[in-house]
Structure 1
Amino acid sequence: MALFVNRPRILDTTLRDGEQTPGVSLKPEDKLSIATLLSDIGVDVIEVGSAAASDGERESLRLISDTGLKAEICTFVRGVKLDIDYAADYGADSVHLVIPVSDLHIEKKLRKDREYVTKMAWDSVEYAKDRGLIVELSGEDASRADPEYLLNLYAGGVERGADRLCFCDTVGVLTPERAAELLPQYCIAPLSIHCHNDLGMGLATTLAGLKAGATCAHVTVNGLGERAGNTPLEDLVMSLEVLYGLDTGINTEEIYHLSTLVSRLTRVPLPTNKSIVGEMAFTHESGIHAHGILRDSATYEPISPELVGRKRRILLGKHSGSASVEAALSEMGYIIEPRQLQEIVARVKKLGDDGKRVTDSDLHAIAEAVLDISCTPVIRMKQYTTVSGNSVMPTASVTLFVNGDEITQASTGAGPVDAVIMALRKAVQDVGDITLEEYHVDAIYGGTDALVDVTVTLRKDGELITSRGARTDIVMASVEAMISGMNRLLRKRDEDRG
């Protein structure tokens, strides 16, 4: 069955249902920022809170209504004249008139009967029309209501002037199959589908509702909302556009901007693996996947990240292959040889095996270290040991090959790093007097097992060079930085002699 309309309308309720996320409270100026972007990207209707809830909510409604946005400005109202008056007085174009329709809500929440609720609904429709408002008559908990009772309430509402109807799956229990069965009978006026995501069915049921005849979908940015939230705007829009080939009228390239704005203002972080807008949605680590992506992004991406205002990321770790590491290095401007690449990949995988995520800073440090030591060395490390403790003088011994000759030296120091550096300098003193001018260490990311980036500045015969080492062991990183730096100074000596 084809979708009922070629261009479903989008009603965004981030500023009402989304703000009902526990702990979220938006200031009027925050709501205006979100509403402005929602309107700019092409959302048809914006539900701006509940005007009866507070002075701040009424101020938000007035502020947004007076801005002259392209989108229709709506507000939530109960079947109460005061709510409707607030909506009209503070500039709303329309009202989302929500009426409890399941016997559970009627009897337990309202402690009334069906006849009372029916009259309340119909009288409220008439009053809202008299106040000049567009009315969307909404059945709360419609998915658990008696279908015949709901149809009668809807029909009476339409007779009294309701412009639109809404079927609310208030606790997320409606299945796509049940939506396909129920909704067609309620299409006596333009029908909206409003789904919650308690059982993870929000998007699927919303799509089924549109396919069954609904012409409008209620959504929230990032799927915000009470409990497990509502149908996410970004998921619905991209599903309709990509999977069903429909024009939603939404500027999809602004979706990520909208998502991050809402996340920042609500202080609700995006789940890492959230579809479309999560950090990992367009991030690849697996060597097979990354290799495929680099050849043709369609191999492992259903849409291009640019379509929603994002960029692809190749994340390096133990699953990374040579292709993804080489691509990342190329983006950083490194020109590397195969044997250098092999060493860099090995170090990346080692960090991944240690449970770490390799950042751009890590890769920079690893690449610099490998490029320094990969040239033909004057000095090669065979082994080193360090000993330290609260009752032991820090001591280090090193065994090096210097121009092919094996040399062993030992030294004490203020600590294990100082001791090993002193031992290294003593081991090479016959081929060059090298002094340590400066020593600097950074932990690239937090934790006791952080990758350590050591930078040393060495001097020989007035010549200064800076060298780096990057390892999870500070002593090993220091040894690496020292040896690569000494090699550069000693190679330069040989080149100058030549």
Structure 2
Amino acid sequence: MNIKILDTTLRDGEQTPGVSLTAKEKFRIANKLDEIGIDYIEAGSAITSEGERESIKGITSQGFNAEILSFSRPLNVDIDYCLDCDVDGVNLVVPTSDLHINDKLKTTREDLLDLSNNAVDYCKDHGLIVELSAEDASRSDIDFLRNVYVNAIDHGADRICVCDTVGILTPDSSFELFSKLNDIEVPVACHCHNDFGLAVANTLSAIKGGASEIHTTINGIGERAGNTSFEESVVSIDRLFSQFSTNVKINEIYDVSKLVARLTGVYIQPNKAIVGENAFAHESGIHSDGIIKNSATYEPMTPELVGRKRKFVIGKHMGTHGLNSRLKELGLDVNEDQLQQICCDIKELADKGKTVTDVDLQVIADNVLEINHEDRIKLDELTIVSGNKVMPTASVKITVDEDEILNAGVGLGPVDAAINALKTLDIFNDIDLIEYHVDAITGGTDAFIDVIIKLQKEDKVVSARGTEADIINASVKAYIAGVNRLLRD
């Protein structure tokens, strides 16, 4: 059975506190959602604002394969705005719990039913596809809920949706609720919220109970604790439910996850299933050994399935098999005794609470392998002039192969000026700075700054780090350390 996906990242997902997407950003997300095979895209809520309507129009004008919907209340004014946006259909949301009917709308069940039926009629008279979503369905009287659905279908509704608006379902109660509705003659959808961390579990139970469509958001973003996670649901259906499938291109899941994280600013927790940075990372020696022999020993799926790559993390739990694999990636061949010594040195460093980076590993390996080298470039002096009305200027004195060299440079800021003062020298030719990252190790204005950079020369990429209380010194030292490594290699 094929399960349809309605993605509501652009509507329910955008209701995440602090998230507000531009029309261009919404289009980029919608384009990617269509590209990976999403069946229905809820592009927004047309009643919200003129800017929102322009965003929706920009999406509906593209001729996507996905059906494009707008959120709508059961009011003609909302529906008219949806029509102005040229959407294919509406997600017509009608409250069905007594709590919402009595306390929020201040109306009766009978009037609510008439309101729903009239709204469906108005939509169908204007050629819209209608998915009728019962808001707070999980706290609604089941007989009244069924009555709302049956009436909507009689008036032409194409699909119906059960909304667990405050996330109170459990996997058992979700299965039971959808089982009671699985004789409905149109497709039944499931829309869950994650207030108790059960949105994905409840969604999967809904499918087992008879739901043929699910509502999701990328990375599970949304109000409060968020919505059903798209990536977790889709991959679970693919890997755990052999009788069900989706139209999603699973190998592009990581790409769309990262896109949404960047554009919304809602970044992904490292241990998040499927798309978290640690989802396919291994440090434990036992795990690394098993993974190298057969990835199925400690991975329920290959990282390539979802567009990821496996990585072995350097740390005190690492075993020699994972360590040797990482050393080979760095181009280092060691014997058994050397491997054991490197492993012991890493554990000693990690026991002090230090994160062991590739640079640290390189230094440790160099010491064990007794690779002695003399840096070609040494920093002797660094002077910075910067101020409110002064273009940041840096002068450097370095020693290159025992020759003293003086140079100066300007930049947008003092760090930029200092790096520019170095980059214009011949020895730095053809070396590109491809990544620059800064962390404050301690608190306060006198915090130690950890600068980590990546440099590239032709097809060789190296990392280097500099740690100082002064960010400019740390940056320059990291840069020179990286260049020295490239020149040695």
TM interval, short-chain normalised: 0.7 to 0.9
In structure 2, stretches of 5+ residues that fail to align are 374-400, 405-436, 443-447, 453-463, 469-489
* Alignment TM-score, normalising by the size of structure 1: 0.75
**Superposition pairs of residues 60-209 of structure 1, within 5 angstroms:** 60-187=55-182, 188=184, 189-209=186-206
Letter in 1 for 2:319: G
Q: Offset of 1:210 from its aligned partner?
A: 1.0
Q: Offset of 1:348 from its aligned partner?
A: 1.1
- Distance (whole Å) between structure 1 residues aligned to residue 33 and residue 158 of structure 2: 23
* Alignment TM-score, normalising by the size of structure 2: 0.76
Query: Which contiguous aligned blocks of 4+ residues in structure 1 show a shift greater than 4 angstroms?
Result: 435-438, 443-446, 448-453, 469-473
Residue equivalent to 2:218: 221
Aligned residues between the structures: 396
Describe the SS at the equivalent of 2:370: helix
User: Is residue 297 of structure 2 the alignment partner of residue 299 of structure 1?
Assistant: yes
Farther off after superposition, 34-43 or 337-346: 337-346
**Superposition pairs of residues 344-423 of structure 1, within 5 angstroms:** 344-372=342-370
Letter in 1 for 2:13: G
Residue equivalent to 1:34: 29
- Distance (whole Å) between structure 2 residues aligned to residue 470 and residue 157 of structure 1: 63
Describe the SS at the equivalent of 2:277: coil
Q: Offset of 1:370 from its aligned partner?
A: 2.6
Of 273, 278, 281, which residue of structure 1 is paired with 2:279? 281
- Distance (whole Å) between structure 1 residues aligned to residue 366 and residue 46 of structure 2: 60
> Could you tell me whether the CA contact under 8 Å between 1:362 and 1:451 is conserved in 2?
no
- Distance (whole Å) between structure 2 residues aligned to residue 339 and residue 197 of structure 1: 51
Residue equivalent to 1:429: none
Residue equivalent to 1:422: none
User: Is residue 434 of structure 2 the alignment partner of residue 447 of structure 1?
Assistant: no
CA deviations over 1:416-453 (Å, ceiling 9, x no partner): xxxxxxxxxxxxxxxxxxx9889xxxx99763789999
**Superposition pairs of residues 417-436 of structure 1, within 5 angstroms:** none
Of 319, 325, 328, which residue of structure 1 is paired with 2:326? 328
Describe the SS at the equivalent of 2:350: helix
> Could you tell me whether the CA contact under 8 Å between 2:441 and 2:450 is conserved in 1?
no
- Distance (whole Å) between structure 1 residues aligned to residue 309 and residue 260 of structure 2: 19
- Distance (whole Å) between structure 2 residues aligned to residue 143 and residue 174 of structure 1: 7
Of 308, 311, 327, which residue of structure 2 is paired with 1:310? 308
Letter in 2 for 1:298: A
- Distance (whole Å) between structure 1 residues aligned to residue 280 and residue 330 of structure 2: 19
Residue equivalent to 2:395: none
Q: Offset of 1:183 from its aligned partner?
A: 1.8
Query: 1:243 and 1:296, CA in 2 relative to 1: closer, same or farther beyond 3 A?
Result: same
- Distance (whole Å) between structure 1 residues aligned to residue 160 and residue 41 of structure 2: 16
Of 254, 265, 268, which residue of structure 2 is paired with 1:267? 265
Letter in 1 for 2:354: K
- Distance (whole Å) between structure 1 residues aligned to residue 220 and residue 367 of structure 2: 45
- Distance (whole Å) between structure 2 residues aligned to residue 138 and residue 322 of structure 1: 55
- Distance (whole Å) between structure 1 residues aligned to residue 439 and residue 188 of structure 2: 52
User: Is residue 44 of structure 2 the alignment partner of residue 46 of structure 1?
Assistant: no
Farther off after superposition, 111-120 or 159-168: 111-120
Q: Offset of 1:182 from its aligned partner?
A: 1.9
Q: Offset of 1:358 from its aligned partner?
A: 1.7
- Distance (whole Å) between structure 2 residues aligned to residue 345 and residue 285 of structure 1: 12
Letter in 2 for 1:230: N
- Distance (whole Å) between structure 1 residues aligned to residue 371 and residue 40 of structure 2: 62
Describe the SS at the equivalent of 1:139: strand
Percent identical: 50
Residue equivalent to 2:288: 290
Farther off after superposition, 243-252 or 42-51: 243-252
- Distance (whole Å) between structure 1 residues aligned to residue 236 and residue 143 of structure 2: 32
In structure 1, stretches of 5+ residues that fail to align are 1-5, 376-434, 454-468, 474-498
CA deviations over 1:206-263 (Å, ceiling 9, x no partner): 1111111111000000001111111101001100000112331110110000000000
